[in-house]
Structure 1
């Protein structure tokens, strides 16, 4: 049939689909659907196979334009191309460029900045834990100020206000780094305030709570039970204790090199008999790093938030069994164990300077000119202090504690 604009316009639908060839353009067909809709289709051969390709709807695409598109398609096919596949590929969504994804950029941030910082591994861990977990596959250009606020509010609403504020600080620095590298024009965290005001903590476990905590550690077992006991008995920082290795233990001394401590100062921790007993009771999982508190042999334990909650629950259970009624224990953190040890040593009459030496705490009596010129490491005093504190804890746990006896020379 010789198609004209008039015949195309007047073509009526039937109960079957109609394909009407155009005699003036071989391969071009007018398709009339039973619904009355009309469109253009071209047929060609590619690789020995018959192919069909839709050109467009009528009257949006006129007869003259349909003939031109058909001729272009047939010409492309004669060159060995497949026009239908080319159109499909052009319409297919392009694979997203990964270079601006949050997880990729945080990896670069670690490589070019965090890896050179002493606390870089801690910052990377928190960014992975909260930012990458939430936004990892998102493009950084899609992150808005509202997203930052929602992220921090979610952390704070779970009871981790301090963590929310730390993540805000880490995220701020990461986003400012992205601005400096011309990745984004402005940080979406600009002007975002801390999730909440942090209250200065002064939580110290009571004598009963120390006993319940110890019982909870016994009930929980490895790894959090032994680690909790080591934290209470030594007063050391959580990450430093969690990452302890057998290579750091030299007889009855735990040696922390400068790169393992928060303040960058090498530190020796005398191990009381109680601590040595705890460590001896831990079944080792073989691994090159030699971690004591590990479930994989390759990395130290993590997941401290959930671990604290588990111990707190076991602690309340122990308290309720002890009292014969439901007991609600005020919230505590792992850092409160460090404060409890320091307070306990003070109650035993340990001099402040010795306690600071035990904690590897550089401030107060150990700061300023004293810190520069006083190089006495208080090795014997630290050992006596930690043994006294371990004895006190043992007395509390065994229920044989009496009045606190001060050490001689207390001040």
Structure 2
């Protein structure tokens, strides 16, 4: 065979000198074992044999990492497999494939741990793509991580998910169960796209069917909320009153910054990145709103209207419980029907309509993107309605003042907002 040189009885691997071409030197002690010497001087061992009538080669390893004794032992073991009808080279390839698969499985197992997947999902998907990522993080950590911490996400099946959601429903958190399920479904889809999961958990439906909320506070209830907010104190009392006067969303008001407020022009410029619909919105400020804002404390080092720190206030559950207690106290010990903070926004919309504000002005004032300003209308309708919105909010502030003082009557004569 070309390139193969015979060995001498006392040959030493170190003594084999490289040539201009690659050469193979028989070991001389184990049949078929050769020492491969490259022109560079690199040396390795290999076993040549025949399997199923075909010549085969099994690379054993490089020298000096694998010396003569180890190479001969490996060659003899391979010859033993050959005697049992197995192909040593094929076995080696299969072992490598299995080792790579095991390594990938081990790596995936580390990434697959529920709490790690949640953290990765928040950092790589929720934060860059969603404005309310903190709520997503809260939902997933509170129930998903708390229930399955330490487990692999790939091991979580449909039955596990149903048990989790059922427990949430049973404890009276049906709506939260729906919200958690929605975020868990997003998480699993993301994990599939990243190769963390092989398959999504399809065929699971939301645990409960939600009915759209239609709770609207009547004038008497709105007056009770306004008065109770006055006893609630900073910052939640002022936040609730601004919600009543502007119809803005809770988090938009709570996270308002001084740089957004133009008291001279009496405008609150809500940036697109803080708006739920990601559309910038200029809110005309009625004198009543300006008065509330002017009385707010200023905190050095904080740009927030309602916080001295680096984050806006978030303890709305406790504040709402306190607000409910104050309303009950002012109502002679009788609570009013349950409402949530967001119902105030719906109540403002209803209240604006009740005093004669046109629907398209209400929608613009509340920064709605559906209804009158949806689809093609939003593309061509560029009128700002700034004057109409200012008149609407000022009329609404006067109406709130009247109902709080007990002077309002239902169906006040419609206000004309036509300008020029």
Give the TM-score of the pair, scaled to structure 2: 0.67
CA spacing shift, 1:271–1:151, aligned 2, 3 Å: farther
Determine the structure 1 residue equivalent to 2:207: 195
Corresponding position: 1:256 with 2:263: no
Corresponding position: 1:104 with 2:111: no
Pairing partner for 1:211 from 217, 223, 241: 223
Cα distance, 1:260 vs structure 2 = 1.3
CA spacing shift, 1:337–1:261, aligned 2, 3 Å: same
Contact 2:247 2:349 in 1 (8 A): yes
Secondary structure, counterpart of 2:196 in structure 1: coil
Question: Runs of 5+ in structure 1 lacking a partner?
Answer: 1-96, 321-325
Instruction: Describe the superposition over 1:92-127 as per-residue Cα deviations: whole angstroms up to 9, x where unpaired.
Output: xxxxx8644333222211222223314352553443
Instruction: Describe the superposition over 1:275-302 as per-residue Cα deviations: whole angstroms up to 9, x where unpaired.
Output: 22222333344444x12223x5111111
CA spacing shift, 1:378–1:142, aligned 2, 3 Å: same
- Equivalence map 1:144-223=2 (5 Å): 144-157=157-170, 159-187=172-200, 190-223=202-235
Cα distance, 1:142 vs structure 2 = 5.1
Cα distance, 1:141 vs structure 2 = 4.5
Contact 2:140 2:180 in 1 (8 A): no
Cα distance, 1:357 vs structure 2 = 0.5
Secondary structure, counterpart of 2:331 in structure 1: helix
Determine the structure 2 residue equivalent to 1:46: none
Determine the structure 2 residue equivalent to 1:119: 131
Task: Give distance in 1, aligned partners of 2:131 and 2:348.
Answer: 25
Secondary structure, counterpart of 1:268 in structure 2: strand
Instruction: Describe the superposition over 1:310-361 as per-residue Cα deviations: whole angstroms up to 9, x where unpaired.
Output: 32232222212xxxxx423211111110010000000110010100011100
Task: Give distance in 1, aligned partners of 2:113 and 2:230.
Answer: 44
Report the more deviating stretch, 305-314 or 213-222: 305-314
- Equivalence map 1:396-411=2 (5 Å): 396-409=403-416
Determine the structure 1 residue equivalent to 2:310: 298
Task: Give distance in 1, aligned partners of 2:138 and 2:118.
Answer: 11
Task: Give distance in 1, aligned partners of 2:148 and 2:311.
Answer: 22
Task: Give distance in 2, aligned partners of 1:246 and 1:211.
Answer: 28
Pairing partner for 2:389 from 376, 382, 385: 382
Pairing partner for 1:310 from 322, 325, 333: 322
Contact 2:140 2:184 in 1 (8 A): no
- Equivalence map 1:198-347=2 (5 Å): 198-251=210-263, 252-288=266-302, 290-294=303-307, 297-320=309-332, 326-347=333-354
Question: Runs of 5+ in structure 2 lacking a partner?
Answer: 1-108
CA spacing shift, 1:124–1:284, aligned 2, 3 Å: farther
Secondary structure, counterpart of 1:113 in structure 2: helix
Task: Give distance in 1, aligned partners of 2:228 and 2:212.
Answer: 26
Task: Give distance in 1, aligned partners of 2:414 and 2:141.
Answer: 45
Task: Give distance in 2, aligned partners of 1:362 and 1:121.
Answer: 22
Aligned alpha-carbon RMSD (Å): 2.5
